[in-house]
Amino acid sequence: MVMATTFRRVRQRHPRLTLALLPIGAYEPRWIMRNNRLQSREALEALELCGAERALGHHWGTFRLTNEAVDAPPQRHCPRRWPAAGSRRARFLAVRPGQVVLLT
């Protein structure tokens, strides 16, 4: 899978990566968007593959660009929908447009 190779390569080049910014909106239809945007499960996998301490999901919530609902990405990151995600879910935040996040 291209995504796995890409994020593993990031981890090799940047072994102490603190933050990953991952595009989680505008991901449908998959046949055309799969190389540019990540679905929720893919974003959690990318976080693990790249080895970042945390991730911010962006590129959603301003207007409907593709087939999914404008607010679908954060709903898909709901913890009860991803019980197997465990600690990865706690390290991932779907950032609202304009939201300020202070990282310490």
Residue 63: closest CA among 100, 25, 24: 25
The span from the CA of 31 to the CA of 16, in Å, is 33
Residue in 59, 73, 48 with CA at minimum distance from that of residue 21:
59
Over its length of 104 residues, how does the chain's per-residue pLDDT go in tens digits? 567 889 999 999 999 999 999 988 877 888 888 878 888 788 888 999 999 999 998 888 887 777 778 787 777 655 555 555 556 567 888 888 899 988 87
Alpha-carbon distance of 52 to 16, in angstroms, equals 7
Distance of CA 80 to the CA centre of its chain: 17
The C-alpha atoms of residue 1 and residue 47 are separated, in whole angstroms, by 15
